[in-house]
Chain A
Amino acid sequence: MLTKKLSIGLVCPYGWDTPGGVQNHVRDLAEFLISAGHKVSVLAPAIDESQLPAYVVNAGKPISIPYNGAVARILFGPKAFAHVRQWIAAGDFDILHLHEPAIPSISLLACWAAEGPMVGTFHAAAKHQKVIYAIGPILEPAIEKLSARIAVSEAARLTLTNHLETDAVVIPNGIYAKRYANGAPQERWSGNTIGFIGRFEEPRKGLQVLLDALPIIARFAPDVRVLVAGPGDPKEVEESIDPQLRHRFEFLGRISEEDKADFIASVALYVAPNTGGESFGIILAEALAGGACVVASDIPAFDSLLGGGEFGALFESENSAELAKVVIDLLRDSDKRSALARKGKGHAQIFDWDVVAEQIFSIYEMALVGAQEITLSSENRGWNRFLSKDGDKK
Chain B
Amino acid sequence: MKIALAIAFVVLAMLWYLSFLATRLDRLHHRVETSWANLDGLLQRRAAIALEIARSESCDPASSLLLTSAAYQAREASVQERSSAEMALSGALGLLIVDGHMHAGGAEQSLFEELRLLSAKIQVAISIHTDAVSSTQMVRKKSAIRFFRLAGTAPLPVTYEFESDAL
- Chain A residues at the B interface, C-beta cutoff of 8 Å: 115, 141, 144-145, 147-149, 165-167, 169, 362-363, 366, 369-371, 380-383
B145 to chain A, nearest CB (A): 13
Say yes or no: B24 contacts A169, CB within 8 Å.
no
Q: When the two chains form the complex, which single residue of B20, B41, B131 contacts A149, counting CB atoms closer than 8 Å? A: B131
Given contacts A144-B28, A147-B31, A383-B19, contact A366 B131 (CB under 8 A): no
Measured CA separation A144–B138 after assembly (Å): 11
Q: When the two chains form the complex, which single residue of A165, A169, A370 contacts B128, counting CB atoms closer than 8 Å? A: A169
B108 at the interface (CB under 8 A from A): no
Q: When the two chains form the complex, which single residue of B24, B41, B121, B130 contacts A144, counting CB atoms closer than 8 Å? A: B24
Say yes or no: A366 contacts B128, CB within 8 Å.
yes
> Could you list 28 A-B pairs, sorted by A, with CB under 8 Å?
A141-B20, A144-B24, A144-B28, A144-B135, A144-B139, A145-B27, A147-B31, A147-B34, A165-B135, A165-B138, A166-B131, A166-B135, A167-B130, A167-B131, A362-B121, A363-B124, A366-B35, A366-B38, A366-B124, A366-B128, A369-B37, A369-B38, A369-B41, A370-B34, A370-B38, A380-B23, A382-B19, A383-B19
Number of interface residues of B (CB under 8 A): 23
Closest to B37 in A: A370
Query: Which of A167, A381, A382 has the most chain B CB atoms closer than 10 A to its own CB?
Result: A167
Closest to B15 in A: A383
For B19, the chain A residues whose CB sits under 8 A away are: 381-383
Interface string of B11-31 (1 = CB under 8 A from A): 000000001100110011001
Closest to A149 in B: B131
B44 to chain A, nearest CB (A): 13
Say yes or no: B35 contacts A147, CB within 8 Å.
yes
For B24, the chain A residues whose CB sits under 8 A away are: 141, 144
For B135, the chain A residues whose CB sits under 8 A away are: 144, 165-166
Q: When the two chains form the complex, which single residue of A166, A362, A371, A383 contacts B124, counting CB atoms closer than 8 Å? A: A362
Interface string of B101-128 (1 = CB under 8 A from A): 0000000000000000000010011011
Say yes or no: A169 contacts B38, CB within 8 Å.
no
For A144, the chain B residues whose CB sits under 8 A away are: 24, 27-28, 31, 135, 139
For A381, the chain B residues whose CB sits under 8 A away are: 19, 23
Q: Considering the complex of A and B, which 7 residue pairs feature the smallest CB-CB distances, nearest first?
A: A369-B38, A370-B34, A167-B131, A370-B37, A144-B135, A366-B38, A148-B128
Q: Which of B1-60 contact A (CB under 8 A)?
A: 19-20, 23-24, 27-28, 31, 33-35, 37-38, 41
For A382, the chain B residues whose CB sits under 8 A away are: 19
Closest to A161 in B: B131
Q: When the two chains form the complex, which single residue of B34, B41, B127, B131 contacts A371, counting CB atoms closer than 8 Å? A: B34
Measured CA separation A176–B119 after assembly (Å): 26
B20 to chain A, nearest CB (A): 8
For B27, the chain A residues whose CB sits under 8 A away are: 115, 144-145
For B38, the chain A residues whose CB sits under 8 A away are: 366, 369-370
A138 to chain B, nearest CB (A): 13
User: Known contacts A141-B24, A144-B27; can you find 19 more A-B pairs with CB under 8 A?
Assistant: A141-B20, A144-B24, A144-B139, A145-B27, A147-B31, A165-B138, A166-B131, A166-B135, A366-B35, A366-B38, A366-B124, A366-B128, A369-B35, A369-B37, A370-B33, A370-B37, A380-B23, A381-B19, A383-B19
Closest to A115 in B: B27
Measured CA separation A370–B29 after assembly (Å): 13
Measured CA separation A370–B35 after assembly (Å): 9
B95 to chain A, nearest CB (A): 27
B148 to chain A, nearest CB (A): 16
For B138, the chain A residues whose CB sits under 8 A away are: 165
For B20, the chain A residues whose CB sits under 8 A away are: 141
A146 to chain B, nearest CB (A): 9
For A145, the chain B residues whose CB sits under 8 A away are: 27
Closest to B20 in A: A141
Closest to B125 in A: A366
A150 to chain B, nearest CB (A): 10
For B125, the chain A residues whose CB sits under 8 A away are: 366
For B33, the chain A residues whose CB sits under 8 A away are: 370
Interface string of B134-148 (1 = CB under 8 A from A): 010011000000000
